[in-house]
Structures are given as C-alpha cells and as structure tokens.
Amino acid sequence: MVYVDSLPKIPAAAIGYLDSDYLHNELTKDSDLKINLSMNCKTFPEAQSYNVIAEITGTEFPEEIIVVGGHFDSWDVGCGAHDDGAGCVQSMEVLQLFKELDIKPKRTIRCVLFINEENGSRGGKDYGKYAETNNENHIAAIESDRGGFTPIGFDVDSDSSVLNKIKTWISVLEKSGIHWIRKGGSGVDIQYIKNTKAKLGYVPDSQRYMDVHHSANDTFDSVHPRELELGAASIAIMAYLISEEGL
C-alpha cells in the first residue's frame, strides 16, 4: 500500500489466508463480531545496504552477461527461508555447480543477491541503473522468488522468437523436473535490467507456498533439500543453455 500526503494515513494490515478463513467463518456466525487488532510496526530511518554479486567470466563472450538471482531480504516475522533464502541459495548454487563440474561457460554467469526487494526494490533499481550506466550487455536474467519447492516451469518475458528458441530446450530441462516454458512475468528485481533479450522467472510448485509466505512459518525446516537442489539444477541448466546456445 502507498500513502499520499493529501489524505489521512489510515492503519492497514494484511492477514494470512488461515486467519482470513477463520474470521470469515466467525462473521457468518455473528455479524456483530468485533475484533481488536494490535499493530506495532514502524518505519525506521533509511540505512545503507548492499547487493551481493559474484560471477564466472565467460570464455568466448565475456561481455554478454546472464544474471541469476534472488533477493537478500525478508519480512521479520520469519527467517525468510523460502522467501527468498531459497532463491539466493539456488542462485549461488548455479555458480557452485559450474565450478564443481568444471564447466567454463561461453558467456558470463553473474549471481546477484538483490537487497530490499520486499520494501522498495532499491537493490533491483540500483542494479538496473548500474548496468545501464556501464553499458553492460545483459542477454538474459533469471530470478528465483517463488519458494524452494519442486520445479515445474519457467515464465519468460521476451519476444516470440526468443521464447520459441527457449521452448526447444524443454527435453533437456525435463531432467530436473521442468514441464513447461511459457510467456509470462519474470521477477521484481530483474525487471529493471533494460534491453535484455529474455527475463525468466523460475516457477516451482506453488500449492504450499501460501502456508509459509510472509509468515512465521517461513523457516529452514520447511525447505526440503531435494526440492531446493532440483530448483538449483533447473536454473543452472537454463543458464548453461543460454550461455552455450545464445538467444
């Protein structure tokens, strides 16, 4: 939500779906029901924070960059294991997999952990400005920000020719559990990278995501290691294909 100076600031809060269902059921029993909601959130002064960046330089086209990333902040009610610790771990794991397998990509693979996605997207915005100011050539960007669950697909923001090329790789991506590639939105942070041929959003199974999303349930024990590994493998395979085949 956003406030404007010309109107009074009215307190507002979002409640999770379990609480919402409970409140709805109680209201059907008693339409005069009253509740007390105690809120203690505050807006503090701004503080300096940073993106975290690492890369493997490409052997043939080092100036062509493929970003893999997640966001490095979370809401304070949990530890942010799925949102977006999982995405950060998967993005770092892409570089680790390349190193373990001694893969030397043709194009530069850059891992970016964006700060402040949850409250202003300053990390994504500043990275986009940095890339534009330095005339960097990003041919693709992949973001993982939908939890660390079982892989099912990739949403792709690109023109039709690029999308169709990526779709031809589905038989390889199936090895990590990817079932489809379709046109769609990518990610909050990578949207600020201009002139990119393709922006991709990694899509895991979402059926359990709202059990943990922005809640105290978003803890390390809710992440299954094998699902997390398969997601990292999916993103690594996609990054490798883009690196070797181009777009």
- 41 lies in some domain: no
Three-state secondary structure readout of the chain? CCCCCCCCCCCCCCCCHHHHHHHHHHHHHCCCCCCCCCCCCCCCCCCCCCCEEEEECCCCEEEEEEEEEEECCCCCCCCCHHHHHHHHHHHHHHHHHHHHCCCCCCEEEEEEEECCCCCCCHHHHHHHHHHHHCCCEEEEEEECCCCCCCEEEEEEEECHHHHHHHHCCHHHHHHHCCCEEEECCCCCCHHHCCCCCEEEEEEECCCCHHHCCCCCCCCHHHCCHHHHHHHHHHHHHHHHHHHHHCC
Mean pLDDT of the chain: 94
What is the CATH classification number for the domain harbouring 138?
A: 3.40.630.10
pLDDT band at 246; cut points 50, 70, 90 = very high
- 2 lies in some domain: no
- 23 lies in some domain: no
Do 108 and 242 contact (CB within 8 A), yes or no?
no
pLDDT tens for residues 204-244?
A: 999 999 889 988 899 999 999 999 999 999 999 999 999 99
Do 141 and 199 contact (CB within 8 A), yes or no?
yes
pLDDT band at 50; cut points 50, 70, 90 = very high
**Number of domains the chain contains:** 1
- Domain containing 174 equals 52-245
Cut 0.95: pTM above it: no
Q: Which of 9-13, 91-95, 241-245 has the lowest mean pLDDT?
A: 9-13
Tokens of 173: 């991506």
- 17 lies in some domain: no
Per the rule left: phi > 0, alpha: psi between -120 and 50, beta: everything else, 246 is left
Candidates 158, 156, 183, 161; CA nearest to 238 is 156
Task: Tell me the C-alpha distance between 34 and 122, whole Å.
Answer: 39
- 36 lies in some domain: no
CB atoms within 10 A of CB 243: 25
- Whether the pLDDT of residue 1 is over 80: the answer is no
- CA end-to-end span of the chain, whole Å? 38
Tokens of 167: 């779709």
Top-confidence residue, 36 or 67: 67
- 107 lies in some domain: yes
Task: Tell me the C-alpha distance between 113 and 163, whole Å.
Answer: 25
- 25 lies in some domain: no
Show which residues are catalytic: 117
- Predicted local confidence at residue 191, as pLDDT: 96
- 27 lies in some domain: no
- Predicted local confidence at residue 215, as pLDDT: 87
pLDDT tens for residues 136-148?
A: 999 999 999 999 9
- Whether the pLDDT of residue 134 is over 80: the answer is yes
Task: Tell me the C-alpha distance between 128 and 244, whole Å.
Answer: 24
Q: Give the mean pLDDT of 83-89.
A: 97
Percent of the chain with pLDDT over 90: 84
- Predicted local confidence at residue 37, as pLDDT: 86
